[in-house]
A and B are shown apart, each in its own frame.
Chain A
Amino acid sequence: MNRKLFRLTTIGGAGALAAAAAGAQVTFERIRDAASEPASWLTHSGDYGAQRYSALEDITPANAAELEVKWVYQMRDPGRPGFVEATPLVDDGILYFVEPPHNVTALDAWTGARIWSFDHPLPDDIKTIGFPPTNRGVALLGDKVYFGTLDAKLFALDAGSGAVRWSAQVGDNSVGHAVTMAPLAIDGKIIVGISGGEAGIRGFVDAYDAETGERAWRFWTIPEPGEPGGDTWAGDSWKQGSGATWLTGSYDAELDLLYWGVGNPGPDWNGDVRPGDNLYTCSVIALDPDTGELVWHFQYTPHDTHDWDANQMQVLVDVELDGQKRKLLTTANRNAFYYVLDRTDGSFITARPYAKQTWADGMSPDGRPKVLPNTEPTEDGNLVYPSLQGATNWYSPSYSPQTELFYVAAREMGAIYFKSDVDFEEGTAYLGGGQRGLDGDEAWGAIRALDVRTGEKRWEFRLPRPPYAGLMATGGGVVFGGTLEGNVFALDAETGAAVWDFQSGGPVRTNPMSFAVDGQQRVAIAGGNALFVFGLAD
């Protein structure tokens, strides 16, 4: 694609004029076809397939060294608790962002000037059990901006003014529920998951009517006795089974299936109270978006005792495999394996470690891990790789259809896992142990490019410390990322060579994204307490 073509569809161009006539409208069709509109960034991962790929091609390995800061937005209250982890969305010249802990701000995407903010007060008795107070972004649909709150509400705001259109109570914060994820907007519905997997909740995925806020359905991630999967829990353990759903899922509009990663079982490290596979924890579930019914599931880590949840991006990829065009679901799981599934039916194709792991001797033909002996947490502690933060975590990987590589920010770190007795008390931590991470000299990280079909490593870019920031590949052949030491960087997507870096002055623990203003590509990512927007010199 050439640059002229983009100019026509970018903000301020002809496309925006047409949209302006009817007021800003983010239709379902626009999100579905997001790949044809790279000047915008309309959903959390840029597209329903969670590829976090921008087709914009201004910035290349050859010119990335000329990137400069175009504007900076300072968070209004840097003294507040929490991290800046949101991905901005951009539509029609406006950038929508969430400042911690859960306040939405609309900015002029051209200048960074603030247009409106919606502040949601934090109740004094708020609970965040097992996760930092944070918010990972908004969803756009029609003329509304959707986001969740730490007190487990879902809000629909007017995109023009920030005024509340409706709000819904998704969960009950007194038991540990919170909404930290960016909601997913599909045709007429807003899909939301829940946090609280360290508080012994019973997880669920909800759908809300985008216009009215009425709940359309709820899927419980922990089945009751008598339901399919109910026999994978002993006694009443399913009631505190956790299975939180705290990261945005993906969606295949053609198959009309939602894909959602499900969290760890509760209690995290003491599995004695819940013998069995503990479905649907540490699984990907495929749901019918009309009814919320389960269509298929695949469990990555049966009976997990290391908090290796499956709250990572489920990346939808269409490639040829053995001469056949296939619809794949790929993911770099927290348990250190990269998986390839057939997303039409959940059948297992392959898996391969992408980071050091010491818990499994590969997979059975059906994708069930062959768990090694003596890898469970113990009272005296047991060293296992990866650490509980995983070989990766919630931050996004990226897939480039151009290189057919899957890019992941990998953590090389082990941990000594401990087990302890545990009693369940509603609204408190339900853990049954802990870990001591092997940090310091022994821990490191890498940005890795994997063959999307096999998970085979093509290149890596080493990091002295394990990372906590996501990646974005672009049509210009560049992969953007960040480090906890404050670096924002660009790598050559083909070779992994560093082509640009910038010290933001604060830890980067969020995802990059890209958009265009007046035909010029921009890259946005937060570092510390500020949102940075980069572009090439004019």
Chain B
Amino acid sequence: MMPGGTIVAVLCAIIVTALPAAALAEPGRGERVYNAHCSWCHGVGGEGGEGPILTRPRLRLAPGDEALRQLIRTGSPRNGMPGVFSINDEELADLASYVRSLGRAEVVDLPGDPQAGAAIYADQGCDSCHIVKGDGVGVGPELTEIGLRRGADHLLRSLLEPETHVDEAYRVMTVTAGDRVAIRGLRIREDPFSVVIRDADNRIRSFRTADVRSIRRRADSSLMPAYGGRMSDKETEHLVAYLASLRGEDSP
């Protein structure tokens, strides 16, 4: 597969040949179109709201730029997203570029050694809860592209104090059903009549709300242990450098 950067470059080249140069990349237009059509649900600056946060390197429904433009045009009624067809192709291109610009962590020089960090990742058994490039177990967030999504500060904090900022997608719930056994896991979905969690053994458990005795939601709880005392500062540095190097198809 082509690295992501090349795909973007190729697409830009196509647009350059297809459109008059004057219509291209009008400064600020992408943001203006975004504010008119998208910010209602996705929030100013893509910070989220009714719709998902867009400050991510890879959008679930729009893995590539063409898919993103298509998604903006047609929407995703299943996910409650309307199509935006009242903009022209130039505006669409600017809008897509703007949305893409919201989500990428920059490549920065870090003190640690990514290769040493990879060994520490294996030693600490991180793969018992995380997947990198297909290997591991998917209890916690997949880390294949974590370096695109998160800067070093965030990665460090997640390692040392995972409970200080838990992504809403990984909210911990404890559900006690009729048999009085409390099941702790990550919230997968919740509606007034059912709740689905994934427990620490990566097993999906579904409950009818009517059968549930209690549900405890913890915004300050994580299934991930704090690794503060388990590694030296140097080791931590290496691990952060390794995680930051995980940039999916952009990875070195």
Contacts and interface: CB of A to CB of B under 8 A. Distances in A.
Contact of A83 (B48, B82, B171, B191): B82
A450 to B, nearest CB: 19
B194 to A, nearest CB: 8
A434 interface: yes
Interface in A378-426: 381, 387-389, 415-416, 418
A79 to B, nearest CB: 7
A82 B77 contact: yes
B80 A509 contact: yes
Of residues B37, B47, B85, B86, which shows the largest number of chain A Cβ atoms within 10 Å of its Cβ? B86
Contacts of A122: 85
Interface string A494-516: 00001001010011010000000
Given A485-B191, A486-B191, A489-B192, A128 B86 contact: yes
A464 interface: yes
Contacts of A440: 48, 168
B87 to A, nearest CB: 9
B192 A434 contact: no
B26 interface: no
Contact of B191 (A428, A437, A483): A483
A81 B192 contact: no
Interface string B215-251: 0010100000000000000000000000000000000
A43 to B, nearest CB: 26
Main secondary structure of the interface of B (DSSP, over half): mixed
Interface string A281-310: 000000000000000000000000000000
A437 B193 contact: no
B127 to A, nearest CB: 29
A464 B190 contact: yes
B92 to A, nearest CB: 13
Interface string B42-76: 01110111100000000000000000000001110
A79 B35 CA distance: 25
Interface string A80-100: 111110000000000000001
Interface size range on A against B: 35 or more
Of residues A78, A81, A438, which shows the largest number of chain B Cβ atoms within 10 Å of its Cβ? A81
Given A198-B36, A415-B49, A483-B192, A81 B85 contact: yes
A133 interface: yes
B154 interface: no
Of residues B37, B39, B77, B190, which shows the largest number of chain A Cβ atoms within 10 Å of its Cβ? B77
Main secondary structure of the interface of A (DSSP, over half): loop
A100 B83 CA distance: 11
Contact of B82 (A82, A418, A462, A506): A82
B78 to A, nearest CB: 6
A127 interface: yes
A435 B44 contact: yes
B189 interface: yes
A507 B191 CA distance: 12
Contacts of A134: 82
A487 interface: yes
Contacts of A462: 192
Interface in B19-48: 32, 35-37, 39-41, 43-45, 47-48
Contacts of A463: 191-192
A390 B98 CA distance: 28
Contacts of A100: 77
B47 A507 contact: no
A489 B49 contact: no
Contact of B77 (A198, A418, A529): A529
A464 B43 contact: no
A498 B192 CA distance: 9
Nearest to A126: B86
A286 to B, nearest CB: 31
Contacts of A428: 36
A441 interface: yes
A192 interface: no
B247 to A, nearest CB: 27
Interface of B: 32, 35-37, 39-41, 43-45, 47-50, 73-75, 77-80, 82-86, 168, 171, 189-194, 210, 217, 219
8 contacts: A82-B83, A198-B36, A416-B44, A435-B49, A441-B168, A441-B171, A498-B210, A528-B77
Given A81-B74, A81-B75, 16 more contacts: A80-B83, A84-B77, A100-B77, A133-B83, A198-B36, A388-B40, A389-B40, A389-B50, A428-B36, A429-B35, A435-B39, A436-B49, A440-B48, A483-B192, A487-B192, A498-B192
Interface of A: 78-84, 100, 122, 126-130, 132-134, 198, 381, 387-389, 415-416, 418, 428-429, 431, 434-441, 461-466, 468, 483-487, 489, 498, 501, 503, 506-507, 509, 528-529
Question: When A and B form their complex, which 3 residue pairs have the shortest distance between CB atoms, in order from nearest?
Answer: A81-B83, A437-B49, A132-B82
